[in-house]
Amino acid sequence: MRRSTITRAATGAVLALVLTGCGTSSGDDDGGGGGATGSEEQGGFTAPDIEMAESLGDNEGTLSVLAWPGYAEDGSTDKSVDWVTPFEEGTGCQVEVKYFGTSDEAVSLMKSGQYDVVSASGDASLRLIAGGDVAPVNTDLIDNYADVWSFLKDRDWNSVDGQMYGVPHGYGANLLMYNTDEVDPAPTSWSSVFDDAGTYSGKVTSYDSPIYIADAALYLMNTQPDLGIKDPYSLDADQLAAAVDLLKQQREHVGEYWSDYLKETQAFKTGDSVIGTTWQVIANLAQSEGATVEAFLPDEGSTGWSDTWMVSSKTEAPNCAYAWLNHIVSPEANAAVAEWFGEAPANEKACDLTSDGFCESYHAGDEAYAEKIHYWTTPIEQCLDGRTDVTCTTYQDWTQAWTEIKG
Amino acid sequence: MALRAGVLHRRPRLRLGLLLGPPMLWLGVLYLGSLAALFITSLWSVDAFGGNIERIWTLDNYRDLFTIDVYRTITVRTLLIAAAVTIIDAVLAFPVALYMAKVASPRLQRILVIAVLTPLWASYLVKAYAWRGMFASGGPLDAVGLSPGYGLAATVLTLSYLWLPYMILPMYAGLERLPNSLIEASADLGAGTGTTMRRVVLPVLFPAAVAGSIFTFSLTLGDYIAVKIVGGANQMLGNVVYDSFLTGNNLPFAAAVATIPVAAMLVYLTAVRRTGALDSL
């Protein structure tokens, strides 16, 4: 008797929930999807119509920042690393920082509308623009924008139709790292982790993200011109299948995939990984901990990231947000971030303030080097390379393919 | 006061309702409700750019689950890992539990219970990373030539270590309820150690082992961290859920994948119920 009452109560509760679920389903269908209505187009890609700030007023007093770890330091990690406090003192905007771990996390957090500014990599920025989560940025209102290297401006991942959606912050390349004791002769090309991965079978490592498919696509772009890949981020179904095949072959020889850099540093220190993709900051860290590793940019180029500070379309503190954008690309702050995080700064004057040899080791401002980098961009249905006769595979397709590759 | 107590006394149904209401609400709304939300979400889809859920009924997620081979491979792998972890834990836990319950002095018994419980106080991550160090090239296991390297074997070992207390404790509790006199009677009647184990200890042990296996099995089914740390390039169901949700921003598909462990546990519990082991818990 008691049991049946309990069962009935539970069933009732579940039913109530199911019904609520159904309710939302019929009521909300045409509410969302800000990407549907738009005014500007770029290769078929439509950006939602969102107002841009025309002038600045008084600072609001608070600012909520969503950032990659290491991009908004207030001295709490290391007393000498602090570019948030000078900003707070200079503008009167009290900063609250929230860190995110992956581009995907950044996108979902920005959807909440709780953050005023975000540091977005190229594989997040287009999604943010299309989702209507960020507003166009009026660069005339940002004094330090003039000093940003011109090859970083008006690019696919930070602008739509010549309209900037943020300020460039810094960039870096995904490098090929190898253990100098174990790997002989020294590698010269990405083929050592693709076609020749078998040489160090079981000790190859790769970046654990669907965006790594672009690395394989870039390799195919150089080695198999028949496939007709023009841009590693715009692959049609056949090209994606070719990249997936290549990665499945590589999978046989991969010891492990890495996503956080402590894991990769440790694997290179112990020798569990001897060759694979990396970032400059990881190479520096591994070397400082005594690992015999070397990292370089192979001649055929590489994928990489170029980060952009963007302003939320729902911000209630636009003036503080613009003040932050101006501050973060100021020579002082930009130099401090670049040195702390380990990437090339975006402001050319920052290189006067960084330590000796820093900008050289990151090839900051070296346009030829920067052109060898294919920056992370979100793959979307409309081919980014301008083809209109096919539809390209989306990041969702890549995510599913990535699961299949790992098997 | 007395009046109110009187009302409660005269109305047993009201009393029962007040007593059971809050926990029922918890169970019904928060626990079963979230499960229901999971199922509903799994019938939706997301738009091409990801992130924005489209609330239109569709079975596409389940179709993908059944038609794309890789998900079957991962499901089978996950179930095998869970089974292996459960068996290893049962084999390891039995002698420990038997010693604790039947051989150790009361003082030693208490110390052993504390010893079994202590690892549960340490962070999961610290323990998993400690095992990563153990399996590393040049690490302690490698030095004696016993490291399997990062991979499925390492994952099974790490998970077996992590969930072992959940198997020892129910077995210990079960065996403790077994009166010593029964074992003595069995010996008096001429049964050898083997027969006593089989006919006296095992029937008591079985429901306890089943209770333990529910923990080890379900905890393994949902795990995705250990395999990331020591599993090399392998992935389990939990990783697919994690990747679909956080990387692909595809909550509906993640929800569809998440129903697999739920279904597996339901099948498992039904099978266990048939054996009658649940009644004697």
pLDDT tens, A326-346? 999 999 999 999 988 888 999
Fold of A45-171+305-368: D-Maltodextrin-Binding Protein; domain 2 (3.40.190)
B269 and B183 in a single domain? The answer is yes
Hey, do A45-171+305-368 and A175-278+381-406 end up sharing a CATH topology, with the first three levels equal? yes
Rounded average pLDDT over B83-105:
95
B53 falls within a domain: no
B120 falls within a domain: yes
B55 falls within a domain: no
Q: Would you list the domain boundaries of chain A?
A: 45-171+305-368, 175-278+381-406
* Cβ A406 vs Cβ A256: under 8 Å: no
Q: Which CATH superfamily is domain A175-278+381-406 in?
A: Periplasmic binding protein-like II (3.40.190.10)
- Of A29-38, A108-117, A225-234, B133-142, which range is least confident? A29-38
- pLDDT of A36 reads 34
Give the domain range for residue B202: 62-275
Query: Which residues of chain A make contact with B57, given a CB cutoff of 8 A?
Result: 25
Among chain B residues, the shortest Cα distance to A401 is held by B70
B27 and B135 in a single domain? The answer is no
CB contact under 8 A, B55 and A25: yes
B115 and B31 in a single domain? The answer is no
The amino acid that residue B190 corresponds to is G
- pLDDT of B4 reads 60
B230 falls within a domain: yes
B48 falls within a domain: no
Of A175, A169, A171, the C-alpha closest to A187 is: A175
Give the count of domains, chain B. 2
B25 and B67 in a single domain? The answer is no
Q: Residue B156: how many CB atoms within 10 A of its CB?
A: 24
Rounded average pLDDT over A96-125:
88
| Token pair for B86 | 């459960």
Of A29, A44, A64, the C-alpha closest to A385 is: A44
| Token pair for A166 | 């943020």
How confident is residue A70, by pLDDT bands cut at 50, 70 and 90?
confident
**Distance in angstroms between the alpha carbons of the first and the last residue of chain A:** 49
Calculate the alpha carbon distances from A339 to A74, A308, B253 in Å.
15, 17, 40
Q: d(Cα A41, Cα A48) in Å, to the nearest integer?
A: 9
B111 and B20 in a single domain? The answer is no
B8 falls within a domain: yes
B38 and B88 in a single domain? The answer is no
The reported pTM is 0.78
Among chain B residues, the shortest Cα distance to A11 is held by B28
Query: Chain B: nearest CA to A332, how far in angstroms?
Result: 34
Helix (H) / strand (E) containing B7: helix B2-10
Is the CB of residue B150 less than 8 Å away from at least one CB of chain A? yes
B186 falls within a domain: yes
**Distance in angstroms between the alpha carbons of the first and the last residue of chain B:** 40
- Of A16-25, A235-244, A289-298, B242-251, which range is least confident? A16-25
Domain containing residue B97: CATH number: 1.10.3720.10
Query: Chain A: nearest CA to B185, how far in angstroms?
Result: 39
Q: d(Cα B10, Cα A114) in Å, to the nearest integer?
A: 53
Instruction: Please say if the pLDDT value at position A40 is more than 50.
Output: no
Helix (H, G, I), strand (E, B) or coil at A308: strand
B96 and B138 in a single domain? The answer is yes
Query: Which residues of chain A make contact with B29, given a CB cutoff of 8 A?
Result: 13, 17
Tell me which DSSP letter residue A72 carries.
S
DSSP codes joined into one string, A115-130: -SEEEE-HHHHHHHHH
pLDDT digits (tens, 9 = 90+) for B253-271: 999 999 999 999 999 999 8
Interface of B with A in 5-24 (CB under 8 A): 20, 24
Helical H runs in A224-373? 237-251, 261-270, 280-288, 318-328, 331-341, 358-361, 367-371
Please report how the helices A395-406 and A237-251 are oriented relative to each other, as an axis angle in degrees rounded to 10: 30
B9 and B92 in a single domain? The answer is no
B103 and B238 in a single domain? The answer is yes
Q: d(Cα B168, Cα B209) in Å, to the nearest integer?
A: 9
B254 and B117 in a single domain? The answer is yes
